[in-house]
Each structure stands twice: as structure tokens, then as C-alpha cells.
Amino acid sequence: MTAFHVSAEVADALAAGRPVVALESTIISHGLPRPRNHEAAREFEGILRERGVTPATIAVLDGVPQVGLDAEGVRRIAEEDLAKASVRDLPILAALGRSGATTVAATAHLAALAGVRVFATGGLGGVHRGASETFDESADLTTLATSPVTVVSAGVKSVLDIPATLERLETLSVPVIGFGTTAFPAFWLRESGYQLDWKVDTAEEVAAVMAARDALGSTSGIVLANPIPLAQQWDPAEHDRVLATAFAAAEAAEVRGKAVTPFLLGYIVEASGGKSLEVNLDLARNNVRVAAEVATAWSRLGA
Ligand code: PSU
Ligand code: MN
């Protein structure tokens, strides 16, 4: 019995050395409101297909981790109330025949198992503010230390402790590279105020880093930080104001554990009158486009 299922479309593309990009399902099920989430899931796949890249949206359906969903699978992750599944939840869902939407961590883990090397998301999970007391650090970070997947993200959400997240990525030996800039982005904002050591300017350079990483015996992932264009970013003053109210609301509601990220994202969409949602969609589309370029460059290397 194989523990997971790769769709025929994804398996064919991988066997032929054609570009494939993994997409996560938690952003669809828990990160974006209905019905925009279903439109977004289809749109992300469409952006890849237009560029000759095969989408591999990943989720667990009825106990089977799926790498590549059909239209019905995409509908299910958008419309059903699925569990939020990180790596530790995968064996439980599998054994109990349950369904779950995979986080960055679980998606990267399954993508790596299937041989998909490039993955697009919105923002990476990271170290939460106050983590020195709560210990709330996303398993996205530790999983990337062991999963050889290049994750294109707009940095980490500014609700997190960004400098602590960058420190942890350093400790975990996960390369963090800016795409066209050394300014590390803050999801809805183009710049977080924190600088990176390295940038690349082309997808070909990213593919070259991936090949060198393999040749040097490293099996970590790579974080490719892709900032939203300035014209599309959220107004920073409005951003700061809304985030302050979101933290106060999370505190008052005593939200803990894996509910924290979905709570904050949902609250911020409401409190911003939908503005944060438009920015979130713009940055995610932007990441999917860059991931398509990276996967294409990677397939050209024939590595
Ligand atoms: N980024 C988004 N939207 C999201 C998430 C990230 O733009 O919904 C999700 C991802 O699935 C990420 C997860 O892996 O939040 C992190 O959750 P936690 O902090 O509980 O690890
Ligand atoms: Mn957490």
C-alpha cells in the first residue's frame, strides 16, 4: 500500500521532467473566506497551467494524502470544514480515514515525498509574538529544515515575531533568499525592516542554488522571499492599526494553539473591510507566478 496518492497528471509531469508546483490547502480552507477561497484555489492552478506548469494542490481526503487534486478535491478543500493538518496530524488522519487541509509544513513534507521541489504559498508560518512564554512556533520552520522544497512566500505574516523567525531559520540552516531584494517582506507589506544576507534576481539563479544545495548534501528547504509590489501593498498605517486591534481581540478571546493563525487572519479581513484579503490574494498570485518560473528553470536544469 502506498501511503499517499499522486494524481496521474502530476505523476506524468514528474516522470517527464516537466515543471510542477505544489500548492497548500490550509490557505484555502482556513486562510481565506468562502467563496473567495474556491475562486482563489482555481485561479492559482490556472496561473500555473497558463505557464505550462502542472499544479499539485495537496490535501488529505478520506485518509489519503493527495498530491494533485481534481476539481472535486479542490471544491472539497474550499467548502468542507476540514481539520487543519500539520505533519504530526498526517498519520492520524490516514489511520482514521479523516480529511485535512495541509499547512505549509505538511504540504512541504508531502511534496518532498512525491518529488515535487517547488511550492508556492502566501506567507510562511513562524515564531509567534510572545513565543518565549507560549512556545508557539510553527512546525513550518522545523519541517523546512528537513524537506528539500523551495517555498515561494511573501515572507512571514506581520502578526508573527519576524526577527525571531529569521533567527530560527538561521539556526535550522534553512537558506532564506530575497527575490530581487535583500529587504525581507512582511506579507501584506513589501518590507519588514529586516534585511537578508542574500538575494537573487532570476529564477535560473534559484534553480542553480537548488542544484548546488543537492550537490552539497543538504536536504533542507529554501525560503524564497518574494515581496508584494509596492503599488499593491497594504497601507502601512492602516496595517498597524488593524493588527493592534487583532492582537487585542485574540487576547480577549484567549485563542491558543493552531487556532491562532486562522483567528488573526479572519479578524484582520473583517477589521480591514476586506482590504487585507485583496492584498493577500495579490501577494499569493505573485508567489504562484514566481514559483512557476522557478519550477520551469528547475526542469530545464534536468536535475
Ligand atoms: N499563510 C497564509 N495563509 C494561511 C497560512 C499561511 O497566507 O492560511 C497558514 C499556512 O498553512 C501555514 C499556517 O502553514 O498558516 C501556519 O499555521 P501555524 O502558525 O498554526 O503553524
Ligand atoms: Mn502554532
* Catalytically annotated residues: 24, 157
The ligand 1 site (C-beta within 6 Å) comprises 24, 26-27, 30-31, 103-105, 121-123, 125, 138-140, 258, 261, 265, 280
User: Average pLDDT over the chain, rounded to whole?
Assistant: 96
The pTM score is: 0.96
Whose C-alpha lies nearest to ligand 1, atom 11?
A: 103
Position 5 pLDDT exceeds 80:
yes
What is residue 301's predicted lDDT score, i.e. its pLDDT?
95
State the sign of the Cα–Cα–Cα–Cα dihedral 159, 174, 91, 59: positive
Closest CA to 74 of 37, 116, 19, 117: 37
pLDDT digits (tens, 9 = 90+) for 93-135: 999 999 999 999 999 999 999 999 999 999 999 999 999 999 9
For the CA of 187, the nearest atom of ligand 1: 7
User: Smallest Cα–Cα separation from 259: which of 83, 57, 49, 60?
Assistant: 83
**Is 285's pLDDT higher than 60?**
yes
CB 13 within 8 A of CB 118: no
pLDDT at 198: 98
pLDDT of residue 303: 64
The pLDDT of residue 82 is above 80: yes
Average pLDDT over residues 218-234: 97
Measure the CA–CA gap between 83 and 106, rounded to whole angstroms.
12
> 8-44 burial, b for 16+ CB within 10 Å, e for fewer?
eebbebbeeeebbbbbbbbbbbbbbeeebbbebbbeb
Looking at the chain, the whole-number percentage of residues with pLDDT higher than 90 is: 96
Residue 241: how many CB atoms within 10 A of its CB?
13
State the pLDDT at residue 302. Answer: 85
- Between strands 20-23 and 118-120, the pairing is parallel
- What average pLDDT does this structure show over 143-166? 96
The whole-number average pLDDT for the span 232-256 is 94
CA atoms of 149 and 80, how far apart (whole Å): 28
Q: Which three cell numbers stand for residue 193?
A: 525592516
Q: What confidence category does residue 63 fall into, taking pLDDT thresholds of 50, 70 and 90?
A: very high
ipTM of the complex: 0.95
Looking at ligand 1, which residue's alpha carbon is closest to its atom 5? 27
Place of cell 493538518: 85
pLDDT of residue 110: 98
Is the pLDDT at 225 greater than 70? The verdict is yes
Q: How far is the centre of ligand 1, averaged over its atoms, from the C-alpha of 257 (Å)?
A: 12
